[in-house]
Amino acid sequence: MAVELAPASNPLTPAAQDAVALKRVFAQIHADSCPTSFNFHMHTVNSDGQLQPELVLQQAIAIGLQGFAITDHHSVNGYRIAQRWLEEHQFEYPDRPLPHLWTGVEVTSQLLDAEVHILGYAFNPESPAMQRYLQRHAPKGEDAKADRVISAIHEAGGLAVLAHPVRYRRSPEDLIPSAARLGIDGVEAFYAYNNPNPWQTSPEQTRRVQRLSTTFNLLNTCGTDTHGLSLLQRL
């Protein structure tokens, strides 16, 4: 079952930065939303992926995605290229339905003395608050603390999400409550931890994460975390 894509909430807000519309989409995400309706975790050659941004767009259109975000590590260069391509494609084919692209990034952070990854969505990439996290390298020192990262994303108008919560050396039962206290908006509940083919969310891990997201009133997201050549797989 496809999720209904929310309409633009404010005509003055760039579509890629419409956090209100994205929040409505996240509120409807379920186990079957990825990878053919939505995909909120993928990487291009602008960080550690293998896909050119233009090929990401071509695949997204071919798959029939309704919405997605490119989440390169500490960079929005891939997003910028994809956004330009999308605008040109829309101008050339005004009647063709195209997926909604939101800004995205993945930031290496520290939470409870563990390294975690925080996904930022629908933020203003020009915001001064985000510049220290868009330098193509992981932040250090105080800038790497999860509370700083979450605050920067919020200051830039975006939503902050804890990526793949069952992949870290600390348990999700430790990390998610801590992240919630810091104001995180959501968790990547639907994730394929063992890279199955075809892609499907990992049932046991999903149940653990969703129990916690319900307890702490967090949004659930989904993504393939693509690093290879297909948006339908992680590798």
What confidence tens digit (pLDDT) does each residue in 144-200 have?
Answer: 999 999 999 999 999 999 999 999 999 999 999 999 999 999 999 999 999 999 999
The pLDDT tens digits for 5-32 are: 545 556 667 999 999 999 999 999 999 9
The pLDDT tens digits for 91-141 are: 888 888 899 999 999 999 999 999 999 999 999 999 999 999 999 999 999
Tokens matching residue 95: 């009647």
CB half-sphere exposure, 157, CA atoms < 13 A: 19
Domain at 15-222: CATH architecture: Alpha-Beta Barrel (3.20)
- 38: which strand partners? 67
Q: What is the pTM of this model?
A: 0.95
Query: What is the average pLDDT across 61-88?
Result: 97
Decide: 35 and 29 in contact? Cβ < 8 Å.
Answer: no
pLDDT at residue 1 tops 50: no
Query: What is the average pLDDT across 38-67?
Result: 97
